Structure 1
Amino acid sequence: MSADKLKEEGNALFAKKQYGLAALKYTEAIEIDEENAVLWANRAACRLNTRQFMDAASDSEKVLFTATKLDPGYAKAWARLATAHDALHDYKYSAKAWRAALDSLPKDYLNASEQKQKEQYAAGLKAAEAIANKPLQPAPVLYMSNTDDHPWVAGRRLVEQYQHTGFFNSSAWLINEAYNDFKEGVDLMKAMKQWKDPRSGQTLIQARFGALEVLVNAIILDKRVFHAEGNFFELYKKQVESECRTVNAWTKTGPEEIMREVPSRLASEGWKGVRPALSVTIRAWILRAHFDSGMQRRHDVAVEFTTRAVQLLAWGRETYKNVPKSERGAIFSDTFIIGVRRHLLEALIGAYSEKSDPQILEDLYEEATQVLKEAAALKPPTPADGISPGFFLGFHRYPKADAQAALGFYHAKLALRSRTNQAEAEEYWRKSIAAYTEAADILPEDDEQHAWFLNVALEYMDKVTTPLATKLKMYERLRSSIPKTEAIWRMSSFSRGGVPQHYQQVLGYEKKLREGLDSGKWSLSTDVRREQLS
């Protein structure tokens, strides 16, 4: 079939708002005629509608590259590029693209359609410039030195004890190993050399390669290890630019175009060139998602970058499954991909908390189910594998707990949406309680999330008929775990958000429940709820 015929079929599907199918038709057409700018432009439009913003930006860049021969002023391509950058909160780049879109329109004698475009592009430029020029108001970042109170310091002390006792079921192993990787990454960045060129006056840098690898290893093992000291972000910006430049990473390309380009790069460079390029690309996306979600609360951007990372990783794992790990790299290993999927779960929960979109909730359910499936398929480690306790916890246990907690979140939100159907809502609440309890059961008792998941399960028990005996057992578990978690996590950012004070109130409920039981006010089979205790 000709490219023109495929384009016509794509156009028909696009008109029916079947954007995913239309994109497939345009992709087939591009494989026949990749110099046709219209095909790239049409696929970019599809990807904007399916919220594949990285791929939309990549396609728009391709339009601008291929269109220069025929139409240097392809206004719609610039506008689509600007829209994609807006969605990714890259307002500096979107402002440039909006301005280019305006400059690409005729200066005089605009028809009605062009006048409408001009108004839209001007509005886009104004909005992008307003945000780009506005000082950032980042969320609080932990700037700290290594005092005795921080989780990684407390964790290290406990690990030194546990090495002699053979006790491995502790979050201390996890945070200690994550910190070792994180510190190595920071030390590599600090080893960067900077000097001014005496002739040009330009600042030159010589960075030590590999910082991104260990920083990402740390964060996917346990993101709670992240903390900034001094000029961390200034060094990081230079580090990522240097590593991307060194390996010719994909910096302006979405995952689908990367998938298209990898075979040709393999043919010319082999895995020696492609392996580090893919690794740096993926790791830069993961860190971008981490910073956007954790610092700017841009959970939608984190979802986009992490989703595309998972998409590319899953493709590479399947496409090159017969290539030895030593050749293709660690990023295509099952454990690494599960680690990235953990971050996607958190990003989806954050995105839904900001915007209660039912589709985000369904995406969360599908992702949690997939994590549980992949975790169950992992080969159980043996002593011969030589994996550390922290690695085992971080990639064999914690993903299961996070997935169960995500399912708990999912069912709780469905319960809230089923208020008019009491029986249905109760069923969802019970599923949520079971999932959060399972999540707590999977984690070590000294992890702060173990206690928190028990706390959430207790809270939701007040939504349904629950015997006092069941609640008291859960209260006892929570009360028992709190001192254990505080030994490591007392100074975590989560704990410093008011969690100890909350637990004090919750345990106050337990005290009143036990007093009422002792006085004969109610029995172990009674359903007593917190609102009855005031």
Structure 2
Amino acid sequence: MSKPTAAQLKDEGNEFFRKQDYVGALAKYTEAIALDDKNAILYANRAACQYELNRYLDAVDDAKMATQIDPGYAKAWSRLAASRGALADFEGSAEAWQKALDALPKTNLSPAEQRQKDQYGAGLNAAQTPQTRGKTSKNRCIASVNLDDGNLPWKIATEMLPELRKAGLDQFSSSAWVISYAYEEFTKGVESMNQLKSIPHSQAPGGLSYHGNLMGLTYLTNGLMRDERVFHLNHPDWITKYNNQGNLILALLAFEATAHQAYSGGVETIKELIQKRLKEKGWNDVRPALSVTVRKWIMKGMLESHLGGRPDTGVHFLKRAVDLLEWGRLVWKDVHKDDRGVIFEDTFLRSVRSMHLMMSMNAYSSGPSLNSHLEHLKEEAEDLLKEIDIMIASNNLSKEKLDPGMVSSFCVYPAAIAHKTIGFYHSQKARYSDGVLACISYMNGVNAYLQAANTYPENDEFHAFYLTCAMDCMRNAGVSIGDFNTAAIALRAAVPKMMKIWAFSIMQRGGRDEKIQAHLRRADEMMKLVAEGKLTLEDPVPF
């Protein structure tokens, strides 16, 4: 039986696409591209699949390839425009919509071409609308700090470690271990980044090539995976320099990617390149390239979200990392970890998945997506909890060499993030429900937020903050004053423990303490009314 041609595979892909089986269509287009990699239609069609599967970064890569092969292909430009818009890159989206319009005939348009023109014009107008462009611009969650400030959480935590070590195992559940070890790793990465030497080079991007330590990206991402709150700026102009060629962070990414020949492009393309390179050069060549590729996506996700103000784009970088890691763990499940590398270990993937959940919640909060996205987030969180339960039952983490903060960073904190994702899901669902359904959702939110709060160490700011989130849900769920006051008692006890380390943080700058005090005042007011006999502990919390 003869093998199908690229044209036949394209037709099969089109049929899958018509049936909205985008995974099946993507597979067929990928097979066709392997036979004919100079066909712009195949890349544009695969870009459409990627878009429908919410893989917007991959859609951008495929659409760009289609426009490079055929610069006059209007549909390819439109798919690039739509994908860039989904990533909140409105300037790039507007530019691509204009190119899509320019690629259409100027006169004597057919009815189909007129519909395209109308669609592309509407897309261009939307991308240029100020309200749309500013949707995510306020979401910059990063600290610009003076490193001489002794009140920073990681500085205080590091000073606490000697006493914690004397206290033994009883004090292992402390956020001090987590943030101090995260700071140690992150600082090594910053030091490596600052040691980069630039050398004029006429053929290098921007006219500069770089030389330095190849461990910087590993240290930076290790720190972020332990606790992403350690991501801070020690230079006030980093934000303004973010898109400049001279930015050290971007230079570090380019330096390590070049040194290890890291991969670029979409996940499907990279999968093919990896398999081919493995056969030709083996794991010693592929392992560092894969590590830099994944870590670069993690770093780009953080930069896009926290510096660029584009959490939607950050989510897709992290999702790309999760997809490649999960695929690699399946394909190379029998390959020894020393060959395939640390990025495929349970702890690494678990941390990236929890970072993806956190950033997804931030992205949703800055611009709520469809409820189907919320459902997917809840499913991801539930899967993560199941995985952690299996790991605990098998005692896998104890087989590794551990430092005191490792269990918290790679097991406890991911579980807490999963619980608060579920709480976030229920609280958001309640906003779009009425009556009994809203009440049930709020009660589910109460339970999930309480689980999140109680999973974190008592001296972590998240313990106190998610108690307040539970109390928010309690007020809307009609729980009793007695239950609300019980939560307030726990919150009041948590505040001094939190303040010892987390008196200053991004969350504190965002109104954390005001929210806590408002809930405590509310509890005091109600308990005063109970003492006066005007209310009882069994009465529901009044609005």
The two structures have a TM-score, normalised by structure 1, of: 0.88
After TM superposition, the structure 1 = structure 2 runs for residues 276-295 of structure 1, keeping only pairs within 5 Å, are 276-295=288-307
Quick check: 1:271–1:327 contact (8 Å CA) kept in 2?
A: yes
Quick check: 2:142–2:231 contact (8 Å CA) kept in 1?
A: no
After TM superposition, the structure 1 = structure 2 runs for residues 251-266 of structure 1, keeping only pairs within 5 Å, are 251=264, 253-266=265-278
2:260 match:
247
Residue segments in structure 1 that go unaligned for 5+ positions in a row: none
After TM superposition, the structure 1 = structure 2 runs for residues 345-384 of structure 1, keeping only pairs within 5 Å, are 345-353=357-365, 354-378=367-391, 379-380=394-395
2:413 match:
398
- Stretch deviating more after TM superposition (367-376 or 106-115): 106-115
2:84 match:
85
Tell me, in whole angstroms, the C-alpha distance in 2 between the residues paired with 1:288 and 1:259: 20
Residue segments in structure 2 that go unaligned for 5+ positions in a row: none
What is the SS of the residue equivalent to 2:477? coil
What is the SS of the residue equivalent to 1:389? coil
- Counterpart amino acid of 1:179? Y
2:226 match:
221
Residue 476 (structure 1) shift: 1.0
Residue 185 (structure 1) shift: 0.5
2:190 match:
186
1:19 match:
22
What is the SS of the residue equivalent to 1:194? strand
Tell me, in whole angstroms, the C-alpha distance in 2 between the residues paired with 1:249 and 1:101: 31
After TM superposition, the structure 1 = structure 2 runs for residues 493-512 of structure 1, keeping only pairs within 5 Å, are 493-512=506-525
Q: CA RMSD in A?
A: 3.1
Cα displacement string for residues 136-162 of structure 1 (whole angstroms, at most 9, x for unaligned residues): 888364221221111001111112210
Residue 438 (structure 1) shift: 1.0
2:155 match:
153
Tell me, in whole angstroms, the C-alpha distance in 2 between the residues paired with 1:263 and 1:168: 42
Cα displacement string for residues 101-120 of structure 1 (whole angstroms, at most 9, x for unaligned residues): 56656688766655665676
Residue 202 (structure 1) shift: 3.8
Quick check: 2:139–2:310 contact (8 Å CA) kept in 1?
A: no
What is the SS of the residue equivalent to 1:241? helix
The count of residues paired between Structure 1 and Structure 2 equals: 521
State the percentage of identical aligned residues: 37
2:47 match:
44
1:418 match:
433
**397, 400, 403: which is aligned to 1:385?**
400
- Counterpart amino acid of 1:299? P
- 1:344 maps onto 2:356 in alignment: yes
The alpha-carbon distance between structure 1 residues 151 and 381, as it changes in their structure 2 partners (threshold 3 A), is farther
- Counterpart amino acid of 1:192? L
- Stretch deviating more after TM superposition (471-480 or 443-452): 471-480
2:492 match:
479
2:208 match:
203
- 1:443 maps onto 2:456 in alignment: yes
- Counterpart amino acid of 2:10? K
**166, 172, 184: which is aligned to 1:164?**
166
The alpha-carbon distance between structure 1 residues 255 and 98, as it changes in their structure 2 partners (threshold 3 A), is same
**58, 75, 78: which is aligned to 1:55?**
58
1:331 match:
343
Residue 35 (structure 1) shift: 4.8
The two structures have a TM-score, normalised by structure 2, of: 0.87
Residue 324 (structure 1) shift: 1.4
Tell me, in whole angstroms, the C-alpha distance in 1 between the residues paired with 2:473 and 2:128: 45
The alpha-carbon distance between structure 1 residues 39 and 199, as it changes in their structure 2 partners (threshold 3 A), is closer
Quick check: 1:26–1:39 contact (8 Å CA) kept in 2?
A: yes
1:468 match:
481
Residue 17 (structure 1) shift: 4.2
Cα displacement string for residues 389-439 of structure 1 (whole angstroms, at most 9, x for unaligned residues): 2111011101111111111111122222221xx333222222111111111
Residue 56 (structure 1) shift: 1.8
What is the SS of the residue equivalent to 2:182? helix
The alpha-carbon distance between structure 1 residues 381 and 388, as it changes in their structure 2 partners (threshold 3 A), is farther
Tell me, in whole angstroms, the C-alpha distance in 2 between the residues paired with 1:122 and 1:465: 49
Residue 387 (structure 1) shift: 0.6
**273, 280, 292: which is aligned to 2:285?**
273
Tell me, in whole angstroms, the C-alpha distance in 1 between the residues paired with 2:528 and 2:484: 14
The alpha-carbon distance between structure 1 residues 10 and 468, as it changes in their structure 2 partners (threshold 3 A), is same
Residue 362 (structure 1) shift: 0.7
Quick check: 1:55–1:257 contact (8 Å CA) kept in 2?
A: no
Tell me, in whole angstroms, the C-alpha distance in 2 between the residues paired with 1:240 and 1:21: 34
